Amino acid sequence: MSFQNRLKQMAKLCGLGYGAFAVICVYKEDLNFYKRYLMPVVHLLEPENAHKFSVIMNKFRVLPKSKYMDPDCLKVNLFGRTFSNPVGIAAGYDKNAEAVLGLDDMGFGFVEVGSVTPLPQQGNEKPRVFRLNKDQAVINRYGFNSDGHDVVLQRIYELRENNFDGILGINLGKNKISTDPIGDYVKGIIKFGPVADYLVINISSPNTPGLRNLQSKNELYNFLVPLVQTINRIPNRPALLLKLAPDLSYEERKDIAEVINKKECKVDGLIISNTTISRPENLHCKKEALEAGGLSGRPLKEMSTIMIADMYKLLNGIPIIGVGGIDSGEDAYEKIKAGAKVVQIYTSLIYNGPPVVTQIKKDLVKLLEKDGYKNIEEAVGKRS
């Protein structure tokens, strides 16, 4: 055998060996393997293409189902349902309800899809997603790219018909060219109310012009009244949540609390928070930070946790889903102790891969044991 052929055989053997090693690491949910090797390879793709690739992988359930069995201490009772664990996937990842089963396989305690708009729309021009690798952050300005109510609703019907009993939230948005935002959200409540465990009114995305103005005191009151009236007419009424921006001042937060405390505007919970339009001075990726859009990931962590604590106190322990910069069980636990009953991740999935879900849950179990809590609910709002 020639030297050249021997080299080729060695290369094949090495490739097969690495492939076998990779399969074993994926099967074992090896977080370090994903962080150091697999996710950097995925990141060779342009960010939006990497996102699409990930959704396709989950749509066809390519990855093995997580073997971690959620212990009883992670169960949370919320919105009339029992969550097997408090870690969910935030809206923005599975915009069109294509990857729900794959996300459920990862071990998420609940899945939130959307934002879904009444009519299909393309969203903003590309490129519209940017990684800030050194900051473990992302800037996006997708602009509610959506397949529309009818297509997404059909996918959810198919899920339910195939006996999917996981907890499903549906995040609602408005069409960019709509002149009737209230009407857009009313349509969403009527369409998805019968198939959702909870609905989210998203008026905090920075990527749809004028949307965040609906968070102001007077506009919010006039906006919420018809939505609450509509959801109260839905049989087997799902929970109605409001998703807020982290950039609101404390006075604006107080105004929102005052509105929500009114019976006719009473929502069932909050999601805190959406992405931020601020750019912290300590960001390392200065060039990428100049891009317009919402910043998510590690730089958002403290900002969202502070807001969770504020709204929890202002609204007497209203149920909160905490989002923003969660990379570990410690990060999730901070938000729970600030007042979040459950949490969501997204950006950390981009940098750490699917095993981060199991790692967060394992960390939470240890932290509960350390503090002497029997379950997650005992730790909610216990921030010192």
Q: How far apart are CA 74 and CA 302, in angstroms?
A: 23
Distance CA 137, CA 153 (A): 31
The answer to whether 134 and 166 have CB atoms below 8 angstroms apart is: no
C-alpha distances out from residue 164 to 2, 21, 72, 101, 342, Å: 57, 33, 21, 8, 21
Would you call 205 a catalytic residue per the annotation? yes
Helical (H) or strand (E) element with 172? strand 168-172
Helix ranges, the chain (H): 3-27, 31-33, 39-42, 47-59, 100-105, 149-161, 181-192, 217-231, 250-260, 286-289, 301-314, 329-338, 347-352, 355-371, 376-379
Check: CB of residue 105 under 8 Å from CB of residue 89.
no
361 with 329: CB under 8 angstroms?
yes
Q: Which of 7, 91, 99 is nearest to 57 (CA)?
A: 99
Cβ-count burial of 378 within 10 angstroms (0-12 exposed, 13-18 middle, 19+ buried)?
Answer: middle
Which amino acid is residue 352, in one-letter code? N
Q: How many CB atoms lie within 10 A of CB 25?
A: 17
230-233 contacts, C-beta under 8 A, 24 or more apart:
230/186, 230/189, 230/190, 231/189, 231/193, 231/199
Q: At what angle do helices 181-192 and 149-161 cross, to 10 degrees?
A: 20
**CA 371 vs CA 75, 317, 324, 365, 374: distances in Å:** 17, 21, 24, 10, 9
Q: Which of 146, 205, 273, 296 is catalytic?
A: 205
Q: Token pair of 166, please?
A: 């996981």
Q: Report, as residue numbers or ranges, the catalytic residues.
A: 205
